[in-house]
Structure 1
Amino acid sequence: MIRHARIPDARAIHQLLLEYANEGQLLGRSLADIYENIRDFYVFEEDGVVLGTGALAISWENLAEVRSLAVAKGQAGKGIGRLIVESCLNEARQLGIKRVFALTYQPEFFQKLGFSEIEKSELPQKIWGACLNCVKFPDCDELALAIDLTD
Structure 2
Amino acid sequence: MNIRPATHADIDTIVSMIAHYAAQGIMLPRSHSGLAESLSNYVVADLDGQIVGCGGLEQYSSSTAEIFGLATSPNKPVRGTGSAIVEALIEKARSGNLAHVFALTLAPAFFQKMGFRTVQHTHLPMKVWKDCIACPKYGNCDEIAMVLDLN
Place the TM-score, normalised by the shorter chain, in its bin: over 0.9
Counterpart CA distance in 1 for 2:56 and 2:25 is 19
- Note the C-alpha offset of 1:59: 1.2
Counterpart CA distance in 1 for 2:146 and 2:127 is 13
Counterpart CA distance in 2 for 1:37 and 1:77 is 25
The amino acid across from 1:139 in the alignment is N
Counterpart CA distance in 2 for 1:143 and 1:103 is 5
Provide closer, same or farther for how the CA distance between residues 77 and 105 of structure 1 changes in structure 2, counting only shifts above 3 A.
farther
Counterpart CA distance in 2 for 1:45 and 1:93 is 22
Structure-1-length-normalised TM-score: 0.96
Counterpart CA distance in 2 for 1:81 and 1:141 is 21
* Large movers: runs of 4+ above 4 Å: 74-77
The amino acid across from 1:55 in the alignment is G
Counterpart CA distance in 2 for 1:113 and 1:133 is 29
The amino acid across from 1:125 in the alignment is M
Counterpart CA distance in 2 for 1:57 and 1:12 is 20
Cα pair 2:103 2:146 within 8 Å, conserved = yes
Counterpart CA distance in 2 for 1:78 and 1:90 is 20
Identity of aligned residues (%): 36
- Secondary structure of 1:88's match? helix
Q: Tell me which residue corresponds to 1:40.
A: 41
Provide closer, same or farther for how the CA distance between residues 61 and 95 of structure 1 changes in structure 2, counting only shifts above 3 A.
same
Counterpart CA distance in 2 for 1:83 and 1:4 is 13
Structure-2-length-normalised TM-score: 0.96
Q: Tell me which residue corresponds to 1:54.
A: 55
Deviations 1:104-123 (A, max 9, x none): 00000000000010111000
Unaligned runs of 5+ residues in structure 1 are: none
- Note the C-alpha offset of 1:27: 0.9
The amino acid across from 1:99 in the alignment is H
- Secondary structure of 1:25's match? coil
Q: How many pairs were matched up? A: 150
Deviations 1:69-106 (A, max 9, x none): 00012555611000100111001011111010000000
